[in-house]
Structure 1
Amino acid sequence: MRALFLLSAAFVLTAAAPDAPDAPEIPLQTLKDVTKTLSSDDFEGRAPATPAEDKTTAYIVERFKAAGLKPGNKGAWFQDVPLVEITGQDVSPLTFTGGKTPVSLAYRTDMVIATYQVVPKADVKDSEVVFVGYGINAPERGWNDYAGMDVKGKTVVILVNDPDWQTMTLDGDFGGRAMTYYGRWTYKFEEAARQGAAAAIIVHDTEPAAYGWGVVQSSWTGPQLQQDTPGDHMDQSKAIGWIQKPAAEALFASAGKDFAALSAAAKVKGFKAVPLGVKANVSFANTIRRQASKNVIGILPGTERPDEVVLYSAHWDHLGRCDAVKGDDICNGAVDNASGVAALVAMAEANYKAGAAKRSQVFLAVTAEESGLLGSKFYAENPVYPLGKTVGGVNMDALKIYPEAKDFVITGAGKSELEDMVKPMVAAQGRRIAPEPTPERGYYYRSDHFSFAKLGVPMLDGSAGEDLVVGGPAAGKAAADDYNTNRYHKPQDEYDPAWNWGAALQDVKLYYTMGRTLADGSSWPNWYPTAEFRAVRDKSRAEAK
């Protein structure tokens, strides 16, 4: 689900790190063929729990078999992931009454609304509205936007990202420009539910959200998936959703409040939630369908320590049928993430050609990343191979399909010893490590490596930066902006035979070298002592010994 960019023309790279494991050339044709096939209209955007899933997973198994992998789940290729699909229908406007003038927000254009609760109808009636700033409760940081305010049964309005996202350095209560998990929309809905809110509404603003309203609209309309668990998620809020920033400004004006002034106040520690003196109403019906989706698992067994596992992951799903743009309603997901699955297959082929490693190598194509990392979350919580015996690995979410780059960006840098391992490999390619150009977008929390990190497994997530060999940073940034604006999570994310795969080949070669070094080695990379995942890793490793 990560946004990135691409450019056209042809390029092949075969650089190798000194003292790195010998490797066959990364098969460029495999990258092209798998990406083209999975992102074709025949696969209808690869939405989980649809007929397109069977076609998608069957094709991945076919390619895994041809690459030389064996079934990775006790003789089976699949791990069932129980999901429940909820499709909202007959959505009423989201209205606010009791202010200077009534405010009525239309579905899709002004707001989107959904629910985690598995119920046939969601109904929020005359719910008092409270502005809770950034909606954060972080006692370890001395921050609680809910302090002194009981929001049980109320509707909370929340700002996206962290309070210090506009700080241009990495200094601040929440890491400055770099987003923490407290800035993610997933956290904000989780905390609102813990506080007992009947409804939670996030104000969309393009820069701190890291994507435009079109991405929210395409992602939050149509069938919504979540993990199917006992209790039907009745501990969650009745309704969750987003409103456009101009709609929020109109709401606050109706309540006699200044949206800009209160947003500024919310950035300061000690902010107190503000009742708006208006009441929210919204209702919608839900069609409910339960169906297991599938993670696809292949393995190259190790020769000496087969119980120790190196993991490669990529999500196979995308948005399926989505809101049409110029008559096209298939969100094909070529870059995001047919390209990542293609890398998974290409790396399987390269590793098989190189021969079995000492440790086992597991290739995991997960479902429902676009619905909240559900497939990787389920695997991490129900691992086929114990996490305490999982050495680490690489996550591949959307290859950088553009000409070769001078730099390499580690997502969420400063957390794991895998970063120390990859630095000389990057240098051997004639590249350098560069800081994330947009740390405020919180990419570290937006892909499947995060599911494993939360349970202790270090996974490298990184890719080419914006400093291109031809054109430099200006060309890279222009291409990134173009992709994010015009193709990311839209029907325009389609395969183009004229793509330049130079940077992608650089990166996949790097992933191969990293994975193979782990698979033929004996090290157990850990998190840095200050990383939030260190304690759980230490515990799982101790239990595995």
Structure 2
Amino acid sequence: MRSSIAVIAALLALSAPLGAQAVPAGSAAPSVDTMKRLVKELSSDAFEGRAPGTAGEEKTLALLSAEFAKLGLKPGNNGSWFQDVPLVEITAKNVSPLIFRTGKGTVSAAYGPEMVIATYRTTQPHIEVKDSPVVFVGYGINAPEKGWNDYAGLDVRGKTVVILVNDPDYETAGLSGPFNGRAMTYYGRWTYKYEEAARQGAAAAIIVHDTVPAAYGWNVVQSSWTGAQHVADSADGNAGQSAAIGWIQKDKAAALFADSGLNLDQLMAAAKRPGFKAVPLPGATASVSFENDLRKHSSKNVVALLPGKTRPDEYVLYSAHWDHLGHCEAAPDGDDICNGAVDNATGTAALVALAQANVKAGPTDRSQVFLAVTGEESGLLGSAYYGDHPVFPLRQTVGGVNMDALSVAGLAKNVVVIGKGKSQLDAYLDRALAAQGRVASLEPTPEKGFYYRSDHFSFAKHGLPMLYFEGGQDLVKGGEAAGEAAAKDYEEHRYHGPKDEYDPNWDWAGVQADLKLYYDVGRALANTTEWPNWVEGDEFRAIRDKDRAGK
């Protein structure tokens, strides 16, 4: 296998204009020992799950700034290690059940096990939605360029909309269809559903949880949506947002529809077809109320700089989110700290290990920026803020890599590229992989929408090419079956839960190999004169072209 990969890589090197420089060998391989030490510390109970605005944040910021300073990096934000990110912490309390009154009676959903509810409004200590008419709006999509509008001819002001997660064609076997077939688009993300409901004037927006299209079980929703939530601050307190947003268990939604004389499964099937028309639930109303503890605070991104030696005003960006969920829904043993060891103490530690390796190897031609962002778990808040308020101009930023939840399942023959084929950064990764005798694979589960679930997306929206890949599932020990089993075990038993904890028995071989890929790609970008772009026709190409042209 190694020889054939090497031949392919050589042919690519002759034909591809980008990524043509040899991947630097270098003796400064990133340290796995550094990774182990930092992951263990960052995910310890002492850091209390690293929630923004807590003592866990303070400890995380102190640790990262001290590590970067020890390496000799420069504070990246005008002499400071930190960039303030204005947030509001909202903690719901005294949450009533979500009550639906229908012609037949009442359907009640309890907070936590059956529904979750929150708000984006940052100046309202009390939220009440009372006797709001209920409308099923299918997938809640308004996409003029696709000729699709689930809100067509509908006025939902003051009403509660019930929405399906993912895209209408998520069950398609291939990648062709009105919404990219099996591959989720941004229209399928829960964040978009609430954004569009707010634009339509809905009083409340409730997503029906279904494990397959959501890509995670109810346990993830419950642990993520209960407890303190963090929202980006704004001058108007997000007054234009729906008063209440949340999720409901599918069986409860089915009971509501049945009491309204409707069949949820039939309507879900109808919502997949073009021309679907929203369906008011006859006589049904929704009511819910809760109080909010509101606290404005500035969380922080950590910005460290390794200045370039010949073109210091050109930048390569490494990103990872340092935050996790803090205290969350307790496990059966009473453990209520979501430690976030894999997600994302691994990525945070990788930033330090990569900085350490680059310092050891010596400065590159371009400057390298190591950015640990806040608020990813709350909706990519820290990276979105950096994208809107970049410390280093994006038109002078070449691109970079994003790291989120490195695989500790062992060495894989492949890596999974999230958004493979979107940008010319793929050429850099292909060369680095060829040096290891490994390959890049498409996402095995594109319906899960990972492209829109980590911080690279915040930068992509501003036109900045960012490479994001995950550890592959074709493991050297056990093959694809072992890789799939490890991924399933993590998702079902640890992801966004109290058991995502450091384990001394982890297999670090995959982390070591993937770290070297990040190092090789980043260092090649930092030494080349090239400016890799999105491929022709990609959704972000025009943004990048305009930015680079200074328009």
* TM-score, normalised with respect to structure 1: 0.96
Greater mean alpha carbon deviation, residues 130-139 or residues 100-109: 100-109
Distance 2:517 2:495 in 1: 25
Matched, 1:335 2:342: yes
Per-residue CA deviation, residues 436-472 of structure 1 (Å, 9 max, x unaligned), is 1111000000000000000010110002211011111
Partner of 2:318, secondary structure, is strand
Partner of 1:461, secondary structure, is strand
Matched, 1:27 2:34: no
Partner of 2:549, secondary structure, is helix
Aligned positions of 1:324-363 closer than 5 A: 324-325=330-331, 326-363=333-370
Per-residue CA deviation, residues 150-205 of structure 1 (Å, 9 max, x unaligned), is 11111000000000111111111101111000000000000000000000000001
Distance 1:19 1:418 in 2: 13
**Partner residue, 2:170:** 165
The Cα shift of 1:85 comes to 0.8
Partner of residue 530 from structure 1, selected from 537, 543, 547: 537
The Cα shift of 1:425 comes to 1.6
Matched, 1:410 2:414: no
Distance 2:372 2:23 in 1: 30
Partner of residue 281 from structure 2, selected from 259, 276, 283: 276
Greater mean alpha carbon deviation, residues 464-473 or residues 267-276: 464-473
**Partner residue, 1:36:** 40
**Partner residue, 2:506:** 499
Aligned positions of 1:375-524 closer than 5 A: 375-524=382-531
The amino acid across from 1:303 in the alignment is K
Matched, 1:542 2:549: yes
**Partner residue, 1:11:** none
Partner of 1:540, secondary structure, is helix
Is contact 1:406-1:468 (8 Å) kept? yes
Matched, 1:199 2:204: yes
User: Which structure 2 segments of 5+ residues have no match?
Assistant: 1-20
Partner of 1:260, secondary structure, is helix
Is contact 2:120-2:242 (8 Å) kept? yes
Partner of 1:61, secondary structure, is helix
Distance 1:283 1:19 in 2: 58
Is contact 2:23-2:524 (8 Å) kept? no
Is contact 1:132-1:156 (8 Å) kept? yes
**Partner residue, 2:4:** none
Partner of 1:88, secondary structure, is strand
* TM-score, normalised with respect to structure 2: 0.95
Partner of 2:34, secondary structure, is helix
Per-residue CA deviation, residues 375-425 of structure 1 (Å, 9 max, x unaligned), is 000011000100000000000001111211111111022211111221122
Matched, 1:210 2:221: no
**Partner residue, 1:313:** 319
Partner of residue 150 from structure 1, selected from 122, 147, 155: 155
Distance 1:541 1:412 in 2: 22
| Structure 1 vs Structure 2 CA RMSD | 1.0
The Cα shift of 1:19 comes to 4.4
Aligned positions of 1:257-268 closer than 5 A: 257-268=262-273
Distance change in 2, residues 1:363/1:19 (3 Å) = closer
Partner of residue 114 from structure 2, selected from 110, 126, 142: 110
Is contact 2:138-2:162 (8 Å) kept? yes
Partner of 2:376, secondary structure, is coil
Partner of residue 373 from structure 2, selected from 324, 346, 366: 366
Partner of 1:505, secondary structure, is helix
Distance 2:444 2:530 in 1: 31
The amino acid across from 2:299 in the alignment is S
Distance 2:157 2:27 in 1: 58
Aligned positions of 1:293-304 closer than 5 A: 293-304=299-310
The amino acid across from 1:288 in the alignment is L
Is contact 2:141-2:196 (8 Å) kept? yes
Is contact 1:126-1:281 (8 Å) kept? yes
Per-residue CA deviation, residues 203-245 of structure 1 (Å, 9 max, x unaligned), is 0011110111011001111111011110000000000000001
**Partner residue, 1:6:** none
Matched, 1:225 2:230: yes
Distance 1:318 1:47 in 2: 5
Higher relative contact order (CA 8 A, sep 6+): 1
User: Which structure 1 segments of 5+ residues have no match?
Assistant: 1-16
Is contact 2:23-2:432 (8 Å) kept? no
The amino acid across from 2:330 in the alignment is A
**Partner residue, 1:68:** 72
Is contact 2:23-2:431 (8 Å) kept? no
Is contact 1:81-1:292 (8 Å) kept? yes
Partner of residue 90 from structure 2, selected from 86, 89, 111: 86
The amino acid across from 2:191 in the alignment is T
Distance 1:396 1:99 in 2: 51
Distance 2:95 2:27 in 1: 55
Partner of residue 179 from structure 1, selected from 178, 184, 201: 184
Distance change in 2, residues 1:530/1:97 (3 Å) = same
Partner of residue 100 from structure 1, selected from 98, 104, 108: 104
Distance 1:432 1:46 in 2: 34
Partner of 1:370, secondary structure, is helix
Distance 1:170 1:515 in 2: 30
Distance 1:399 1:245 in 2: 32
Partner of residue 243 from structure 1, selected from 242, 248, 263: 248
The amino acid across from 1:175 in the alignment is N
